[in-house]
Chain A
Amino acid sequence: MTKKNSDQLYTDLLQNDRIGKPSNAIEDRLMYSFMLKNSRMKMKQNSFGHFFGWLFSSQSLAIKTGLVSVILFVSLMNNQINIGSGTISPSDTIFAKRVLVADSTSFIQSLDSLRTDSLN
């Protein structure tokens, strides 16, 4: 009869040792925890926290100054171009225009009338 090596005996014994399975509830709890951690992480990624942090920090001051200057310039230019727009005048603007604008045809007419008068 051949003798069995003790290492082999322990390996065989331990590897065939059956003690049962872990509880299934553990898997459910772990999956829930993973999902919870994942959702927290995604919320953090989508938040504006990082952007505001950068905005109010002292880093990249040159970029921030440049951006503010551009915004100010654009807004000022915009105001100058559309001056008076959006304001409601109490008078009838169409009528006011008629009064204020010089009608050159009427000048010609009067001149003509003067000439015809002198000819008569």
Chain B
Amino acid sequence: MIFGKKNRNFSDAELMQQIVSGDQAAFNTLYHRFKDRMYYYFFRMLGNSSEQANDFLQELFMKLIEKPESYNPDYSFQTWFFSVANNMCKNEYRRREVRKEYQTLEALQTKLDYISETSVEPEQLLEKIFLTLDQLGEEHRAAFLLRYREGFSIKEVAEILDLPEGTVKSRLFYAKKILAEKLEYLKEEIEF
């Protein structure tokens, strides 16, 4: 790797300032700092498609190249970056919505297959969780991913999703409630 060695200790906001003044090494460092996290977010938000996740990742960083000055250094870079990524996902959902039928909660309840096995591998469990989240909707999935994968606080999740904290809490509560029903068989091991 040619770039990135001297920039390792800079904060995200400092790197952004260097990017505004045209520092390619700073951009490289920031890319390596965030590429996996953003790729994962897009992958899980856009229906587990690696092709789409790659396209969206590239588009996200292209936005950073084209308009780095749109970031306000007074705010957290992570929060801002994830909110940009989330807006891209929202636009994609809107585009898809034209072709998609609205799913009612009743329909969802009948569609979800309940996990009945006594022991499940983590991969299977994750698959079931994302299947459930996919059917719940992107708002619940985004809140869930940001909270449990990225470890953001409720306040930060609310900032990223541009929602009141109460709404985030209720979405997480609802997602967990539905998941608890699906993971009923694990009630001996897990405190829901």
Q: Is the CB of A10 within 8 A of B66?
A: no
In the complex, given contacts A1-B189, A15-B149, A38-B24, what are 15 additional A-B residue pairs having Cβ atoms less than 8 angstroms apart?
Answer: A3-B190, A6-B176, A9-B190, A17-B126, A19-B43, A21-B39, A22-B57, A23-B54, A30-B31, A30-B65, A31-B28, A34-B65, A35-B24, A37-B66, A38-B22
A106 in the interface (beta carbon within 8 A): no
State which size class the interface on A falls in.
20 to 34
Q: Which residue of A lies closest to B149 (CB)?
A: A14
**Which of B28, B35, B58, B144 contacts A10, CB < 8 Å?**
B144
A-B pairs with beta carbons under 8 Å apart, 7 shown:
A3-B189, A3-B191, A16-B122, A17-B126, A22-B54, A31-B28, A42-B22
A50 interface residue per 8 A CB criterion: no
Which residue, B22, B36, B179, B192, has most C-beta atoms of chain A within 10 A? B22
* Binary contact readout A59-72 vs B (1 if CB under 8 angstroms, 0 otherwise): 00000000000000
B157 at the interface (CB under 8 A from A): no
Asked if A4 contacts B36 (CB within 8 A), the reply is no
Interface status of A49 (Cβ within 8 A of chain B): no
In whole angstroms, how far apart are the Cα atoms of A34 and B19 in the complex?
Answer: 9
Q: Smallest Cβ distance from A64 to chain B, in angstroms?
A: 32
Chain A stretch 1-51: residues in CB contact (< 8 A) with chain B: 1, 3-7, 9-11, 13-17, 19-23, 26-27, 29-31, 33-35, 37-38, 41-42
B125 close to A (CB within 8 Å):
yes
Tell me which residues from 48 to 71 in chain B have a Cβ below 8 Å from any Cβ of chain A. Answer: 48, 50, 53-54, 57-58, 61-62, 65-66
B40 at the interface (CB under 8 A from A): yes
Q: Is B145 an interface residue (CB 8 A)?
A: yes
Bound form: Cα–Cα A35–B23 in Å: 9
Whether B62 pairs with A33 at a CB distance below 8 angstroms is: yes
Contacts of A1 in B (CB 8 A): 188-189
**Contact of B89 with A by CB under 8 A:** no
B62 touches A30 (CB 8 A): yes
A20 and B50 CA atoms in complex are apart in Å by: 9
Q: Which B residue's beta carbon lies closest to that of A5?
A: B191
Contact B39 A7 (CB under 8 A): no
B40-A19 in contact (CB<8A): yes
B168 CB to closest chain A CB (Å) equals 14
Across the interface, which residues of A come within 8 angstroms of B43, CB to CB? 19
Q: Does B35 lie within 8 Å of A22, measured CB to CB?
A: yes
Chain B residues with CB under 8 A of A6: 176, 179-180, 190-192
Residues facing B in A66-83 (CB within 8 A) are: none
A100 and B22 CA atoms in complex are apart in Å by: 73
B32-51, CB < 8 A from A: 35-36, 39-40, 43-44, 48, 50
Partner among A3, A16, A30 whose Cβ is within 8 Å of the Cβ of B58: A30
